[in-house]
């Protein structure tokens, strides 16, 4: 591991520290700041010539600020003659617009992928992208991790009998994810029929599958943004007779009125990972944060030693 260097941007330094602790390494030194005119400043404070460099920077809110900082860090390492640069982006922002669903709109996910590649990244490590096909937007290798083992382990520790579980997909797009969790946790499968009226508003119409009555509902999604969808789904599941509702998501974006919505919703617990740092206001009793540093640390070690990443998820 001597040739490995891990640097952190300002998006989630606590996660980067935890990854280094898992690998028994020290976080490498980097100076980040701003010039008087608000332009970003970066200087690598250690020798990276010929080294395998990992830059930990989720592009979480403020997305533009963290994205440009990542690009500048990549360029700094490239010009300092690093042998290989891996952009570790636990949460990949700008992932919603991955296709043209109407006229005169951009495919922003492809644009951001191009920017990261052109800046000099040799590979990308990310986790639970909003749309898995975004991996194909990059012209460099992408290692796509899943937080499912971490989330499943949390619910397995609760000791809920499998015949008392119903795994709920909050929309049609999450059915495959729900099936995967159901195979490991047991229980039946239910699907929420979600209708989107515009970019920010959704309505939960029907509950398909089940049975739900008297069971513990486990709802899985890739991210929670304003929490409007999951709260609407939770109310629908409760109305169908579920005795408890637990929501799990990899990324807790929790923007807008998310905390207020979760407080009011009939949800017993919301589980997210620390891919995105939460503020004190966001850490309400209903929300539980699970660490993903061991998962990311193992992936970093395997990339450094040219070992298989997919083997991490084989039973």
Q: Which residues are catalytic?
A: 194
Say whether 166 sits in a helix, a strand or coil. Answer: strand
Q: Are 205 and 193 in contact (CB under 8 A)?
A: yes
Rg of the chain on CA atoms, in Å: 20
Query: How far is the first Cα of the chain from the last one, in angstroms, to the nearest whole number?
Result: 27
- The CA distances from residue 137 to 114, 134, 249, in Å, are 8, 5, 24
- Alpha-carbon distance of 168 to 174, in angstroms, equals 9
In Å, how far are 87, 96, 170, 172, 178 from 186, measured between CA atoms? Answer: 36, 31, 18, 20, 11
- HSE-CB of 223 using CA atoms within 13 angstroms: 21
């Amino acid at each position: 591991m001597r040739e490995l260097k891990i640097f952190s941007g300002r998006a989630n330094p606590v996660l980067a520290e935890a990854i280094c602790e898992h690998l028994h390494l020290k976080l490498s030194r980097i100076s980040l700041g701003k010039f008087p005119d608000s332009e970003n400043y970066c200087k690598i404070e250690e020798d990276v010539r010929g080294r395998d460099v990992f830059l930990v920077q989720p592009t979480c809110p403020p997305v533009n600020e963290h994205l440009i900082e990542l690009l500048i860090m990549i360029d700094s390492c490239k010009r300092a003659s690093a042998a290989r640069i891996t952009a570790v982006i636990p949460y990949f922002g700008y992932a919603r617009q991955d296709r043209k669903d109407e006229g005169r709109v951009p495919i922003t996910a492809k644009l951001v992928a191009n920017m990261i590649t052109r800046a000099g990244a040799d590979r990308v490590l990310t986790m639970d992208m909003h749309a898995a096909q975004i991996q194909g937007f990059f012209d460099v290798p992408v290692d796509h991790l899943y937080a499912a083992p971490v989330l499943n382990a949390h619910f397995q520790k609760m000791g809920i009998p499998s015949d008392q579980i119903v795994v709920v997909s909050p929309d049609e797009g999450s059915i495959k994810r729900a099936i995967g969790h159901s195979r490991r946790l047991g229980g039946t499968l239910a699907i929420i029929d979600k209708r989107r009226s515009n970019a920010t508003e959704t309505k939960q119409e029907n509950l398909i599958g089940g049975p739900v009555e008297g069971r513990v509902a486990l709802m899985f999604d890739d991210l929670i943004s304003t929490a409007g969808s999951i709260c609407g789904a939770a109310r629908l599941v409760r109305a169908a007779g579920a005795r408890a509702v637990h929501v799990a998501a990899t990324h807790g974006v929790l923007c807008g009125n998310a905390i207020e919505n979760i407080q009011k919703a009939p949800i017993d617990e919301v589980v997210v990972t620390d891919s995105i740092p939460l503020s004190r206001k966001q850490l309400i009793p209903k929300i539980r944060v699970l660490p993903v540093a061991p998962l990311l640390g193992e992936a970093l070690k395997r990339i450094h030693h040219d070992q298989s990443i997919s083997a991490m998820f084989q039973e």
